[in-house]
Amino acid sequence: ADERAKHAMADATRLADELRQEQDHALSVEKVRKSLESQVKELQVRLDESEAAALKGGKKMIQKLESRVRELESELDSEQRRHAETQKSMRKVDRRVKELSFQQDEDRKNHERMQELVDKLQNKIKTYKRQVEEAEEIAAVNLAKFRKVQQELEDAEERADQAESAVQKLRAKNRSSVSAARASPLSLTSSSSSHQVTTMQGRGPGYSATFSRSVHMSNGGEDDHF
């Protein structure tokens, strides 16, 4: 757009120079026309004088002057035609100057619109970048939360596996104890049960409750051993 504006300014300058030259030429033509008109008037006066003199026998001079008048009239007509052409050229130049001025104004408006569009796009890009950064921050926070929950889940699963293994061991031990109790005196059973309760209490309330439920289920719901 700037290049086109420079070309337009150059064309406008050139056309302005041509217009100035045509105006100077028109002024020159006008001077010539006035000079010729003055000469025609002068010759007409001289012709009148010659006609007066012709009355005294100067017909030859009259013919010469008439011929000169015709020549001057022809020159005047030619100059008038050239002047008309000059005026026509001046109008064309003026119209071209207006067209270039209008085109330059349109180019400037287009450049301003393009610059405004570029500014809007740059603002949108900044907004999108900021939104992406915010989304990345949120994603990082969510990923950290997910990894924390995943680790907690893995830890819980590991503890559950350990608890399940302990329960299985206790169930096996309990079944062995029950079998031994049925085959041995009551005092041995009481001693074994007391020892199991003591061991269970030492592991904590949660473990004791789990063990109690496991033993209860393995004994078919009977709690007489505890």
Highest mean pLDDT out of 61-70, 159-168, 217-226: 159-168
Residue 58 maps to a domain: yes
Sequence-separated (6 or more) residues with CB below 8 Å from residue 149: none
**Residue 93's domain spans which residues?**
2-175
pTM to 2 decimal places: 0.33
User: Would you say residue 67 has pLDDT above 70?
Assistant: yes
- Averaged pLDDT for residues 218-222: 42
Mean pLDDT lowest among 10-14, 130-134, 135-139, 221-225: 221-225
Residue 225 maps to a domain: no
Average pLDDT, the chain: 77
pLDDT (0 to 100) of residue 201: 42
Q: At what angle do helices 59-183 and 2-54 cross, to 10 degrees?
A: 170
- Averaged pLDDT for residues 65-74: 87
- Averaged pLDDT for residues 65-91: 87
Distance CA 122, CA 139 (A): 25
Distance CA 104, CA 59 (A): 67
Residue 19 maps to a domain: yes
Residue 182 maps to a domain: no
Residue 217 maps to a domain: no
Is 61 exposed, middle or buried, given 0-12, 13-18 or 19+ CB atoms closer than 10 A? middle
Report how many domains make up the chain.
1
Residue 27 maps to a domain: yes
Residue 25 maps to a domain: yes
Residue 185 maps to a domain: no
Q: For the segment 170-203, what is each residue's pLDDT rounded down to a tens digit?
A: 888 888 877 777 765 544 444 444 444 444 444 4
Highest mean pLDDT out of 39-53, 174-188, 201-215: 39-53
Q: Number of C-alpha atoms within 13 angstroms, CB side, residue 64?
A: 7
